[in-house]
A and B are shown apart, each in its own frame.
Chain A
Amino acid sequence: MSEKVLSRASGKRDASAGEIVLAEVDLLMLHEITGPLAIRAFEEMGFERVWDPSKVVVVFDHNVPPSDISSASMMREMRAFVKAKGLTNFFEIGRGGIAHQLMAERGMSAPGRLIVGADSHTCTAGGLGAFGVGVGSTEAAAVLGTGKLWFRVPETFRVIVSNKLIEPSSPKDLILEIIGEIGMEGAIYKAIEYCGEGIRAMSLDGRLTLANMSIEMSAKTGIVEPDGKVASYIRERTGMEVELIRSDEDAEFEETFEFDASRTEPMVAIPPRIDDVKPARELGGVEIDQAFLGSCTNGRLEDLKAAARLLKSRKVSPRVRMVVTPASMEIYREAMREGLLDIFVEAGAIVCPPSCGPCLGMSQGVLGPEEVCVSSTNRNFVGRMGHRSSKVYLASPATVAASAIAGRITDPRDIA
Chain B
Amino acid sequence: MSALRGRIIKYPDNVNTDDIIPARYLSSMDMDMVAGHAFEDYDPGFMEKIRERDIIVAGKNFGCGSSREHAVIVLKKVGIKAIIAESFARIFFRNSINQGLLVLQLDGSSEPFEDGDGVRIDLGRAVVENETKSTIHRLKPFPQFLMPILNEGGLVPYLKKRRSWEFR
A interface with B by C-beta (< 8 Å): 20-22, 33-34, 36-37, 41, 44-47, 62-63, 66-68, 70-71, 73-74, 118-120, 122, 134-139, 141-142, 145-146, 148, 150, 184-185, 188-189, 215, 218, 220, 273, 360-362, 366, 379, 381-384, 388
Contacts and interface: CB of A to CB of B under 8 A. Distances in A.
Where chain A touches its partner, the secondary structure class is loop
A9 to B, nearest CB: 13
A37 B135 CA distance: 41
Contacts of B73: 37
Given A138-B95, A138-B98, A184-B64, A362 B159 contact: no
A45 B27 contact: no
Contacts of A362: 23-24, 26-27
Contacts of A20: 145, 167-168
Interface stretch (B76-84, B86-94, B114-122, B126-134): B86-94
A185 B67 contact: no
A71 B27 contact: yes
B164 interface: yes
A382 B91 CA distance: 20
Nearest to A12: B168
A357 B72 CA distance: 22
Nearest to A67: B27
Nearest to A188: B87
B41 A33 contact: no
Given A119-B67, A136-B68, 17 more contacts: A20-B168, A36-B29, A37-B69, A45-B156, A67-B27, A71-B27, A74-B29, A120-B67, A146-B164, A188-B89, A361-B24, A379-B18, A381-B18, A381-B65, A382-B18, A383-B18, A388-B41
B27 A68 contact: yes
Nearest to B31: A37
A12 B128 CA distance: 38
B108 to A, nearest CB: 15
